[in-house]
Structure 1
Amino acid sequence: MPEAPMPDADAPLWQAVLDRDPSPATGPFLYAVTTQGVFCKPGCPSRAPLRRNVRFYADAAAAEAAGFRACKRCDPKGERAALHAEAVRAACAMIEAAETMPSLAALADRAGYARHHFLRLFRDITGVTPRSYAEGVRARRLQASLAAGDRVAEAVAGAGFGSESRVYEDTARHLGMTPGAARRGGVGETIRIAHADSALGPILVGATEKGVCFIGFAETRDALEGDLRARFPNARVVPAEDALAATVRDVVAFVAEPAAALRLPLDLRGTAFQRQVWEALQTIPLGETRTYAGLAAAIGNPAAVRAVARACARNPVSLAVPCHRVVGKDGDLTGYRWGVPRKAALLAGEAKARKLSAG
């Protein structure tokens, strides 16, 4: 009777290679192909080699000591990625230092890449286009000048805008308020607030005349109000328990029993990219989740996974913009502004509600 084949101790590693899994559960490793003399990351897009030609190594140093060289496609040593990152950092510095927006051709020439290739690199690494990045730089300059008390015309010109009309055409995009209000540091804007208790602890709702601009929970009342004031440092904050009673009831009811999406008039302020992510979050159905990578793909920018995660972390209206419905690649809950246990509680409640509605 023939002997049974010996079990392959490296079977999990080999499966990760076959799956092209960039973050295998086994932890980081590299594999080498003896017939090609190269070593790769498990997520390498190259065609899978034959198992008998594969060797596994803990790191690049071990693979190189065995006589293998780094694959040029998957860049297992990260050398090409480091060059790309440095080129994009230099481009960002060039944009920051320029009085007016450098052309794409100038940025690409400075980086040493063709324009289309540089544009893809910049977008992949920063999550935005060079133009969007430059608009963010101009908006910061404008906000700083106005906060310092500069006249609107001078601040607009100094920030690199061609005319005041370009700022007034889309004040929310650049400042979240009119230039005059920004010049006064937000003075003149009123945010009404109301506190309540919920199944997840204290809740604070803040709203401008346009809509809800802040929802926080699970911290002390003072801490929640401090968070709101940090986001709107010079606005007038006034208690408005009666005026916001209906909104607060909706929020508390959603936490207790999320039978339907929390629909509220919102006043969202952020960059164009942040608002794009926040709008995508609002399309995730109750009781479902998306990965950060999936959300990045949904907004047409699949490489901007980290930028998407940062936008989720900056979400000012938890629950109404459901950033808790975004999870890690393997379903891990990862971080959450209000605590991972509360994220788990929210998702469990929504899953239960979805199951009951389906039954």
Structure 2
Amino acid sequence: MTDTPPEPLDEDAAWTAFQARDRAADGRFVVAVKTTGIYCRPSCAARRPRREHVRFLNTPGAARAAGFRACLRCLPDDVTRDRQAVVAAIVLIDAADVPPSLDTLAAQVGYAPHHFHRLFKRATGVTPAAYARARRTARATQALAAEPSITAALYEAGYAAPSRFYADSDQRLGMAPGQWRRGGEGVAIAWTVAPSPMGPLLVAVTDRGLARIAFENDEHALVRALPAADIRPADAATRDRIARIVAATDVPDPVLAEPARRIAFIEAVSQALLGTG
């Protein structure tokens, strides 16, 4: 089997990102400077060369093969290690029954806590704690449907105490857990589907929080999950607000696997909608 060739770079977009020192572009390509023989991250703080003195290459390996050496200021070869650390941390969070602390997570992937916190947020758009919260919310909705009681559901979802579960349920379920288990009985829900770079995103809200947010084209899954609720299309003001927030949310690093990218994007949108980011 042969390796898949890298996708051609959009050099105009790469130049724009380089001029802006866009950290989101780090790891997507490197910038080689012909006059110095050095290659850098797009976000490197060094003075910008003239456009005709620059080459864009997909990887540090390609730059080294072309005869360039790594910048000692921005350390472009470390980007791969940074990304691998974020991927490893996501695996650890996904597998944990109780969300690991930042100190524990950073130690397990070999970084200082504050530095890793920045790396993780840069790659995903959310903090490690926020990503873990999103995973726990997803488990909570599944557990409420499957477990024999609310108490069993909250412990199955990874909550250490009922108080945190009930506090989260207001915003993260948009209703009390008991109402969720009864199919949204007595709850009014407004929904809309907003376009996003990752696909259509259904957002359903109540006067207390978010009833559902997922990559879906219509309300059918919402109706199946909460058949007793009063489910209606959102009004124009609500649709516009949701659309603006979704459009303004950064897309997580493409190197991250699914479903991690979608979970992170949904959590970033959720924080913006709830005003908790």
The TM-score bracket by the shorter chain reads 0.5 to 0.7
Change (3 A) 1:135 1:149: same
| Aligned-partner Cα distance in 1 for 2:100–2:30 | 41
Distance 1:17 1:171 in 2: 40
The amino acid that maps onto 1:31 is A
Question: 1:105 & 1:173 partners in 2: Cα distance?
Answer: 27
Deviations 1:129-162 (A, max 9, x none): 2222222222222211111143111111222222
- Return closer, same or farther for 1:73/1:230 CA change in 2, 3 Å cut-off: farther
Scaled by the length of structure 1, the TM-score of the pair is 0.48
1:228 is aligned, of 219, 230, 233, to: 219
Other-structure match for 1:45:
45
CA distance in 2, matches of 1:64, 1:229: 52
The answer for the alignment partner of 1:70 in structure 2 is 70
In the other structure, the counterpart of 1:140 is 138
- The verdict on how the C-alpha distance between 1:209 and 1:129 changes in structure 2, with shifts beyond 3 A counting, is closer
Q: Tell me by how many angstroms 1:57 deviates.
A: 5.8
Could you tell me which residue of structure 2 aligns to residue 95 of structure 1?
93
Alignment of 1:61-210 (within 5 A): 63-73=63-73, 79-184=77-182, 186=183, 188-189=185-186, 210=207
Q: Give the SS at the match of 1:67.
A: coil
Amino acid at match of 2:145: A
Deviations 1:260-299 (A, max 9, x none): xx3x6x9xxxxxxxxxx959749xxxxxxx8656xx9xxx
Go from structure 1 to structure 2 and tell me whether the alpha carbon gap of 1:136 and 1:167 turns closer, same or farther (over 3 Å shift). Answer: same
Letter in 1 for 2:220: R
Counting only pairs closer than 5 Å after superposition, residues 4-23 of structure 1 correspond to structure 2 as: 19-20=19-20
Give the CA RMSD over aligned residues: 5.0
Displacement after TM superposition at 1:100 (Å)? 1.9
Deviation at 1:228, TM superposition (A): 1.5
Cα distance 1:143–1:19, how it changes in 2: closer, same or farther (>3 A)?
A: closer
**Match in the other structure for 1:256:** none
Higher relative contact order (CA 8 A, sep 6+): 2
For residues 127 and 94 of structure 2, the distance between their equivalents in structure 1, rounded to whole angstroms, comes to 14
Distance 2:137 2:262 in 1: 19
Match of 2:258 in 1: none
One-letter amino acid of the structure 2 residue matched with residue 145 of structure 1:
A
Deviation digits for residues 239-264 of structure 1, max 9, x if unmatched? Answer: 999xx9xx87xx4xxxxxxxxxx3x6
- Aligned in 2, Cα 1:141/1:69: closer, same or farther, shift over 3 Å? same
Rounded to whole Å, the distance in 2 between the matches of 1:169 and 1:281 is 24
The 8 Å contact of residues 151 and 162 in structure 2, kept in 1 or not, is answered as yes
Structure 2: 5+ residue stretches without partners: 1-11, 191-202, 253-260
Q: Which runs of 5+ in 1 are unaligned?
A: 1-11, 194-205, 215-223, 252-261, 267-276, 283-289, 297-305, 316-320, 322-359
How far apart are the structure 2 equivalents of 1:142 and 1:80?
37
